[in-house]
Amino acid sequence: MKKFVVGKLVDEENICNLSKERDAILRNINNGNNVVIYGPRNYGKTSLVKNVIMKQFSQTHKQAFIFFVDLFNVTDNESLTLRLKAALEHAMAEIPLKKWTNEIKKFVSHMRPEVSFDPVTGAASLSLKSIDIRNSQSMDDLFRVLKNISQKKDLLMVFDEFQDIVKLKSEQGIIRSFLQDIDSPVIVMGSKSHLLSEIFLKPREPFYQWGTPVSFSPIDYEIYHTYINERLAAKGIRLGFEVSKTLQDNMHRVPESINLVCAEIMENYENVEIEQEMVNHTITRIIETRQTQYEELLGYHSLKEQIIMASIAKRGQLRQFNSVEYLAELKMNNKTVATTFKILIDAGHIEKYNKVYRINDPLLETYLRLYR
Ligand SMILES: Nc1ncnc2c1ncn2[C@@H]1O[C@H](COP(=O)(O)OP(=O)(O)O)[C@@H](O)[C@H]1O
Ligand SMILES: [Mg+2]
C-alpha cells in the first residue's frame, strides 16, 4: 500500500526513486566489486540495501548467504565481536530448517551452535555457544566461518554504519585483510561523511580507496513532489509544486522529515489544496508534541553546545565558525568554538554539507529557532 513511512525501513513500494543507486549497487556486486555507499542519515540507504538489494540477491542466487551487520555505536573490540557474532547467528537462522544439519554443522560445529524456538512466534534462533566475545581471537574465528561459507555459497556481506569503527584502527586492519582474502562482494555503508572520509580517503588507513563509491544525494524535487501527491490523493489532498518544493527545502530534502510532515498533513486534512500556511501550522504542531523529547536531547549538551546549535539554526547555515564576527556574537574564543563544533559534529547534530555547516535534523533546527 502507498503510504508515508516514518521511523522504520521503507518497503520497496514506498521507496521513492533511488533506481540509479540501486542499479549501480547491483551492477557492482554482480561483477564482484565492493561498494561503499555514502549518504546522510535518513536518505534510504538501509531500506534500499535490505529491502531491494538483499532481496534481489537472494532471488538471483540459489545458494545465497547474506551476512548483514550494523556497527552503529560500536566502541571497542568486544562490542564489535558481539555484533559480528549476532549477525552470523542471524544469517544462519535464515537458512531453511531442513538444510541446517548438513550446512551448519559443517561450518560451525566447533562453535557449539544451539537452536531454540521463540515460544510465541515459533521462529528459530541460533546461538554460537563457544564464542566468547571477551576473547580477542573470537573475531578471527567468526571470519574463518564466513570464509568457509564463501567457498560453498554465494556470500554477500553488508556492513552498515561502518564509520562508527573509525577509532578501532587494529580492527579495521583485521577486517580489511579478511575482506582482501575473500572473493564475495561486500557493501559498506555509512552516514557521517567526515568519519567515512577518514576511513576511505586517508592514504595511511587500511581502507584507503577501497571499493567503488556510490553516493546518495537528494531526490529530485519533481520526483518527490509526484511521490507526495500520489499518497495525499487517497484523502483528496493536493499540494502545489511551489508549496511542495518549499516543504522539501525546509526539511533539508531529507526523505524521513518530508514524510513525517506529509503523514501529519494526511492525518489532519481532507479534500483540500494545501497552502503554505497549513504546512507551517503542521510543522509547528509536530514540534510542539516533541518538545519534551527535544528538551531531553538538549539537556545532554552543555550550555555552550546549545548556544552554538541555536546560532546555526537561526542562521540556517554557517560557512565558517572562526570568523571574527561569529566569535564575537558567541562571546567565545576560537579554540572553544572549534572543540564544541567537533563534539556536535561527532554527535551527529551538525553536519558539513556543500561546504556549509547546518543542523542535521530539520525539525530540531526549527525547534531551536523557535525556542532558543
Ligand atoms: N527513498 C525514500 N523514499 C521514501 N522514504 C524514504 C526514502 N529514503 C528514506 N526515507 C525515509 O527515511 C527513513 C529512514 O530510512 P533508512 O533506510 O533507515 O535511511 P538511512 O539508512 O539512509 O539512514 C524511513 O523511515 C523513511 O521515512
Ligand atoms: Mg541506515
pLDDT in tens, 120-133: 888 888 888 888 88
Please give the residue that has the higher pLDDT: either 348 or 83. Answer: 83
Q: Which ligand is nearest to the CA of 262?
A: 1
Radius of gyration of the chain (CA): 23
The pairing of strands 238-239 and 273-274 is parallel
28 within 8 A of 36, measured Cβ to Cβ: no
**Confidence tier at 55 by pLDDT (50, 70, 90):** very high
Determine the atom of ligand 1 nearest the C-alpha atom of 43. 22
Average pLDDT in the 255-266 region?
98
Average pLDDT in the 304-326 region?
96
Among 139, 129, 137, which Cα is nearest to 179's? 139
Residue 177 above 80 pLDDT? yes
User: Cα–Cα distances in Å, from 344 out to 72, 75, 300?
Assistant: 17, 18, 11
Average pLDDT in the 147-159 region?
94
Residue 98 above 80 pLDDT? no
Which of 99-103, 117-121, 142-146, 160-164 is predicted least confidently?
Answer: 99-103
Q: Which ligand is nearest to the CA of 47?
A: 1
**Which fold does the domain 18-215 belong to in CATH?**
Rossmann fold (3.40.50)
pLDDT value at residue 171: 95
- Whether ligand 1 lies within 6 angstroms of the CB of 6 is answered as yes
- Whether ligand 1 lies within 6 angstroms of the CB of 44 is answered as yes
> Which residue has cell 566447533?
110
Determine the atom of ligand 1 nearest the C-alpha atom of 49. 17
**Which fold does the domain 292-371 belong to in CATH?**
Arc Repressor Mutant, subunit A (1.10.10)
Residue 136 above 90 pLDDT? no
Which of 12-16, 115-119, 274-278, 287-291 is predicted least confidently?
Answer: 115-119
Report percent pLDDT > 90 for the chain: 81
Residue 101 above 70 pLDDT? no
Q: How far is the CA of 47 from the centre of ligand 1 (A)?
A: 6
0.85 cut: is pTM over it?
yes
pLDDT value at residue 192: 84
Please give the residue that has the higher pLDDT: either 193 or 237. Answer: 237
Query: What is the best residue among 4, 47, 266 to mutate for testing ligand 1's pocket, by most ligand atoms within 8 Å of CB?
Result: 47
117 CB-near residues (< 8 Å, 6+ apart): 123, 124, 125
pLDDT value at residue 255: 97
**Distance separating alpha carbons of residues 243 and 183, to the nearest angstrom:** 49
